[in-house]
Amino acid sequence: MFRLLDIEFYKLRNSKYFWILLILFMIFLISVPISVNLFFETIRSNKMTREGRTLVNYVSFFYTEDLWHNLTYIYKLGTILLAFITMISITNEYNYKTIKQNIIDGLSKKEFLLSKIYMIIVLSLFVTFLVGIIGVVTGFLYSQTSDLSLIFENIKYLGFYFIYVLTFLLFSFFIANLIKKSGVSIAIMIFYIIMIEPIIVAISTYGLKIEWLSSFYPINGINNLISNPFSRHFFKDLNRFTLTPFFVSIFYIILYIYLTYKILKNRDL
């Protein structure tokens, strides 16, 4: 396992796109709490009316109980940058036929795939770790709490974030393996996320009236891992917590790995 990770990270750390995307992702991570804080500070200092002030406090982003939920919800957006890393890392191998040479040189197809999957797992763990640090630091700095143990309340969202990133990256990896070309597979993935699946969800929910089905689609299903924390303030009753998204994610993780393996196994390189 460490040999395969060593091989994959040797490829990554010598690649420019990896550093660029990773650094962009980190900038995104850090800029979120800073800019959100700035936003609320501005509102406060602008001598808002009493109602405005209470509203701000009410939805306070940094309110300790909600902190992890709020943070990870916004950080979901950044996952696309990590998906680009995952996708380019495999489409480059097809493009330059280095995947073929790797096999010739002595990796089995299974090992090759595992080296990428290990990389995806480590990357997901790493960014979860970063988000964890940011969460703790933000909690200390902004939440105006004296009880530090409150910061670790609802830290389960960090776990969900990990599952979300992992599943999403494996999804993008699967698409990239299927299509083999980086531009096209990125375009298809984005098109699927913002067009195809929402349409299918709309049809099955409003057209066919099968509402429960929407929790099982690849993107919608994992999105539910970290539901929209801001709407909760308006629809309190909708905020029921279930483990369904977790099991849906596990199902997709297994499915993507299995399908990618099948594709690679049967493909002539």
Q: Are 176 and 185 in contact (CB under 8 A)?
A: yes
Region binding another protein by CB under 8 A among candidate stretches 22-30, 34-42, 72-80, 93-101: 93-101
When asked if residue 180 is in the footprint of another protein (CB under 8 A), the reply is: no
- For position 105 contacting another protein by CB under 8 A, the verdict is yes
φ and ψ at 14, to 5 degrees? -100, 15
Give min distance, CB of 24 to another protein, in A: 19
Nearer to another protein, 46 or 266 (CB): 266
To the nearest whole angstrom, how small is the minimum distance from the Cβ of residue 108 to another protein?
4
Which stretch in 98-106, 123-131, 137-145, 182-190 sits in contact with another protein by CB under 8 A? 98-106
Please count the other Cβ atoms lying within 10 Å of the Cβ belonging to residue 197. 18
Residue closer to another protein (CB basis): 96 or 206: 96
Shortest reach from residue 137's CB to another protein, in Å: 35
Spatial CA neighbour of 79 closest among 166, 173, 205: 166
* Closest separation in Å from C-beta 66 to another protein: 44
Least distance between another protein and beta carbon 268 (Å): 5
Q: Does 103 bind another protein (CB under 8 A)?
A: yes
User: Token pair for residue 212?
Assistant: 């429960």
Annotate 73-96 with b (16+ C-beta within 10 A) or e (fewer).
Answer: bbbbebbbbbbbbbbbbbbbbbee
- C-beta of residue 102 within 8 angstroms of C-beta of residue 132: no
Q: What does the H/E/C string look like for 25-65?
A: HHHHHHHHHHHHHHHHHHHHHCCCCHHHHHHHHHCCCCCHH
Identify which of residues 44 and 97 has a Cβ nearer to another protein in the complex. Answer: 97
Q: Which stretch binds another protein (CB under 8 A): 14-22, 83-91, 118-126, 147-155?
A: 14-22
| Site membership for another protein, residue 96 (CB under 8 A) | yes
Tell the residue number behind the tokens 């091989």, with chain if given: 7
Q: Kindly identify the residues of this chain, within the stretch 249-268, that bind another protein according to CB under 8 A.
A: 266, 268
- Told to check if 107 binds another protein by CB under 8 A, we report yes
Q: Rounded to the nearest whole angstrom, what is the least distance from the CB of residue 257 to another protein in the complex?
A: 20
Report whether 68 contacts 158 (CB < 8 A): yes
Q: Which of 100, 156, 233, 262 binds another protein (CB under 8 A)?
A: 100
- Our finding on whether 102 is near another protein (CB under 8 A) is yes
Amino acid at 2: F
The nearer residue to another protein, 104 or 155, going by C-beta atoms, is 104
Nearest of 185, 174, 176, 196 to residue 255 by alpha carbon: 174
Locate the DSSP E strands across the chain: none
